[in-house]
Amino acid sequence: MSGHLAVVGLGPGDARTLTPEAGDALAAAQALYGYGPYLDRVAVRAGQSRHASDNREERMRAAAALSHAALGARVAIVSGGDPGVFAIAAAVCEEIEAGPESWRALDLTIVPGITAMLAVAARTGAPLGHDFCALSLSDNLKPWELIERRLDAAASGGFVIALYNPVSRARPWQFRAAIERLRRHLPLSTPVVFGRAVGRPDEQVSVVTLDAADATNADMATLVIVGSRETRVIARPGRPPLVYTPRAGAEISA
């Protein structure tokens, strides 16, 4: 089968953080699929068709891109950050597993991108310098009780925690509940980084303590990094603080 599907990560926002491999995959595509605001970040090229969709329709979008590629076209489907991190690549795999046999024969390429937690971490120092994990706070696809259990396990296990999808209009209370949960395990002085729209013109980055962290710091475009007991803040004159987690040290919390 001659069709080809590229699942392409666009990085956090700044065009300079799009990899050359991703740029090549976008340039080679005859058809582009993706959530509207992500597609808007892709340069328009003559002869390329564009198929924008709503963010909630991931499976349908993945199926549409696969069907199009199965007709023999070169198709690219885009995602912010990395396509494999809480994003479209898993939806594409789900559709391939559930879909017609012919989709398994398609030439499929997943092109990685810089995910939000790496972009936010780089802005503040090295908060992910030792063991860390990533959790999505969205309970659209999993029950809230499971999220609470994972927060408990991550914090008591000594992991730095990157929180994706901290809040949305449909999920107003979850972030506060998550922070309250983490306060059971971690000192109130634990550093918390809020990175909003990193790599975009309206970028905002702030560092607070777990005590002061609250939902007003976060929105849908924010990635939150909650430190471990090892995470440190270095104050600097006239510059933002440096947040880092030393490479040595593994205090186990009670």
Cβ-closest position to ligand SAH: 81
If the CB atoms of residues 149 and 200 are measured against ligand SAH, the closer one turns out to be 200
Q: Which two tokens stand for residue 65?
A: 């891109």
Q: Which two tokens stand for residue 190?
A: 């634990």
- H/E element holding 35? strand 31-35
If the CB atoms of residues 75 and 197 are measured against ligand SAH, the closer one turns out to be 197
**Least CB distance from residue 229 to ligand SAH, whole Å?**
24
CA–CA separation, 9 and 201 (whole Å): 19
Question: What phi and psi, each to the nearest 5 degrees, are found at residue 190?
Answer: -60, 130
**Least CB distance from residue 55 to ligand SAH, whole Å?**
9
If the CB atoms of residues 39 and 120 are measured against ligand SAH, the closer one turns out to be 120
**Least CB distance from residue 199 to ligand SAH, whole Å?**
5
Question: Is residue 85 exposed (0-12), middle (13-18) or buried (19+ Cβ within 10 Å)?
Answer: buried
If the CB atoms of residues 116 and 128 are measured against ligand SAH, the closer one turns out to be 116
C-beta separation of 109 from 7 below 8 A: yes
**Least CB distance from residue 206 to ligand SAH, whole Å?**
12
Chain contacts with ligand SAH (rule: CB under 6 A):
12-13, 79-82, 85-87, 115-116, 120, 164-166, 195-200, 220-223
**Least CB distance from residue 88 to ligand SAH, whole Å?**
8
Give the distance, in angstroms, between the CA of residue 98 and the centroid of all CA atoms in the same chain.
25
If the CB atoms of residues 49 and 109 are measured against ligand SAH, the closer one turns out to be 109
CA–CA separation, 165 and 242 (whole Å): 24
Q: Which residue has the tokens 């808007």?
A: 40
If the CB atoms of residues 108 and 223 are measured against ligand SAH, the closer one turns out to be 223
Give the distance, in angstroms, between the CA of residue 203 and the centroid of all CA atoms in the same chain.
16
**Least CB distance from residue 164 to ligand SAH, whole Å?**
4
If the CB atoms of residues 81 and 191 are measured against ligand SAH, the closer one turns out to be 81
**Least CB distance from residue 167 to ligand SAH, whole Å?**
8
C-beta separation of 94 from 103 below 8 A: no
CA–CA separation, 187 and 203 (whole Å): 28
Counting runs of H as helices and runs of E as strands, what totals does the chain give? Answer: 8, 13
